Structures are given as C-alpha cells and as structure tokens.
Structure 1
C-alpha cells in the first residue's frame, strides 16, 4: 500500500543539535544529537539567487548559487548545554557561565521536525553556526508574559555541497526512527555501487 502524503505541516518540535567536526579532506563527523527543549519557532530564508550567464545574444547558462540559509531559531530558553558546547561559554568552579571574547564558536548540525497530517517531517541542516544571542527582558505588568530567547543561524553547504536533508513519504522506517540517534548522512552512489559489486553473484541455472 502506498504511503499517504502530508498535505499540511504545523508545530515545530524535537529540536536537537549535533557538534560538527571537519576532518582532513573536508570529511564531516557529527556528534550525538542533543535535545534543545522549548523550541518556539524557526524562520530560515534561502541564501543565494540563480544568476544568468549571457552569450550568443541570450541566456546561455544559469548559475546555481545555493549558499544555504539564514534566519532565526526562537526558544523558551537556550539550554546550558548549547551555551557550553556551541557558544563556548565556560562553567567556573562556582557553576557560573562565563562568556569570553577570545573563543571560537563551534559548528553544528541542527535537527528538528514539524507535525504533519499524516507523518512528522524531520529535517537536518548539516553545517550551522549561531551568533551570540542578545539580552532582552521586561518587567511584569498585569499578567506574566513569557520572554523567549533567539539565536541567529547561518546554515552553509559542507565541502561536498550538502546543505540539508528531510524525510519524505517513502523514507526507510529505520532511518526515520533513528533520526535523532545520529545525524543522517546519505551513502554516496559510488559507494553503494561498490558495495553491490562486492556481493557474490547468484548462479544462474541453464
């Protein structure tokens, strides 16, 4: 029976981050995803527009400028683990978070999902950076108002060109279930072909 396709999406949830390390030759390695509870909203705009190359009196070639995404992630509170792992704030012996201008912030993958009318749609952005959040607040008036925190995000391509991935109508059940256990990295087509060629051939009877 064919999978039913989602018609709508709503309700951001299950936001996670996974630290990214780029090895020799540009090979990415991801840490175990860590939950970021309290996600309120995410808004990311595509960065990079196609450009026309003109020759022979017209558009000869269209250049694809996929530079990733820029935008914001709003949270009830930024988790302390994210502050120490990614924003590189340090906890001193008294348990106080210290921000230092000399440290370099960490890159990470961002995982999240939206509800759908049929199935949750799970996403991963592979190469993200976050700017330091601002400090904002106001006094209570007649009623209490929850005051959220916001991270400015930039998601850029990995050296192999990958920007993001998301689950679809026919995503493998194990891949879908394990989305937050480890960052999904697709098997390259040439690797899959090599693995297939390495399998012993079945004998064919005359």
Structure 2
C-alpha cells in the first residue's frame, strides 16, 4: 500500500470526542476518545487570513494567521455522554438532563475520518468548543422525516500552536490502528496523552 495514494475522499464516519484537560502549569492531557454515533456531515472553514506588510511599494512580508476552524457537525442526535461531558448538562436524581446557564462547557479534541478509495483519512482537531444544538422537529406527514441535530464547532490552536493532525499516505500502521485509542500527539510535541 506504500505506493498507492488516495485520489478521492467521501463518507464521514467514526466521529469521537476526547475531553481536554489543561493543568495549572499548562500541561495538556486528553481523556479516552468516546464515540459520537450517527455522523451526517461536517463542514469546517479555515479561520484566519494571511495579511501583508507593505514596504518599498510591494508586499514586503506576509504574516500567517492560522486561528483554526469554525463550522458545523451534523449528527443524528447528540448523545447523552456528550451533553453531560462537554455541554455540561446535569443528570439529576431522576436521570433527567438539566441545562444550567451558569456552567461553562468543556473543551475537547474531535476525531473523525473520511473514506478514501485506498485508505481512510483520519483527523483530529486538538482544541474544540461546541455550542448547544437548536431544539427543532416537526409533525409527521405522509412519510417520517428524520430530524438531525447540529453542533457549531470552533477549533482553536493549543498554546504550542498545534491545531490539527491527519493521517497521510505513509502513516505507520501502529499510529493508524491506534487512532481512536488515544488522541494522537506528534513526537515533536511536549504533550503527553492521559492514560
């Protein structure tokens, strides 16, 4: 498979989240990735534009401005685990989910993959925040139409500048197979994954 490369990508699947923890010294760890079943679509636009510094009558220097990504993750239904872990809804004694405006949501890594004609392309966004999904549905008519839920996702850089990672044509088999066991961190990063 070393000489074969993907020509196309399609079909979002295997969406997971892993809670992000930053201690008082700024060390970053992640929880174990948790599946988000029912992925429908993802659309994340790059956030941040390069800007030019002009001198001597031309663009003397271009400043890179990578502020991450913003967009939407559409899923069949937001799982209860995500509502509790990330959106910080509380389960009361009767196992009813209660939303509290005084509680801050949690940041997380978002993992997912696209099918390819040769090999699946696996991604991780390291520092994500999600907004609460809208509440909507409609009455049944001649046919039942499934109503999905959408999370607005903002992915920003970690303090070391890392925004995302994805598998490539020659990613090692060990890294590829372990992608959803723990959040992948490059060997160049002084961050360790939580066991």
Q: TM-score, normalised by structure 2?
A: 0.95
Partner residue of 2:106? 106
Give deviations 1:146-203, integer Å, cap 9, x for gaps: 0000000000000000000000000010000000000000011899xxxxxxxxxxxx
Q: What is the total number of aligned residue pairs between the two structures?
A: 191
**Cα displacement (A) at 1:24:** 3.4
Change in Cα spacing, 1:82 to 1:70, as seen in structure 2 (3 Å) is same
Question: Any idea what the Cα deviations from partners look like across 1:73-118, whole Å, max 9, x if unmatched?
Answer: 0000000000000000010111100000000100000000000000
Match of 1:203 in 2: none
The residue aligned with 1:125 is 125
Structure 1 runs of 4+ with >4 Å offset: none
- Provide the C-alpha distance between the structure 2 equivalents of 1:38 and 1:2, rounded to a whole number of angstroms: 32
1:39-188 aligned at under 5 Å gives the runs 39-188=39-188
Q: For 2:57 and 2:23, how far apart are their aligned partners in 1? A: 45
Aligned mates of 2:190, 2:103 — CA distance in 1 = 39
Distance 1:55 1:28 in 2: 40
> 1:55: Cα distance to partner?
1.2
Max radius of gyration: which structure?
1
TM-score, length of structure 1 as denominator length: 0.90
Higher share of residues assigned helix: 1
**Structure 1 gaps, min length 5:** 192-206
What is the rounded CA distance, in whole Å, between the counterparts of 1:189 and 1:147 in structure 2?
41
Aligned residue for 2:17? 17
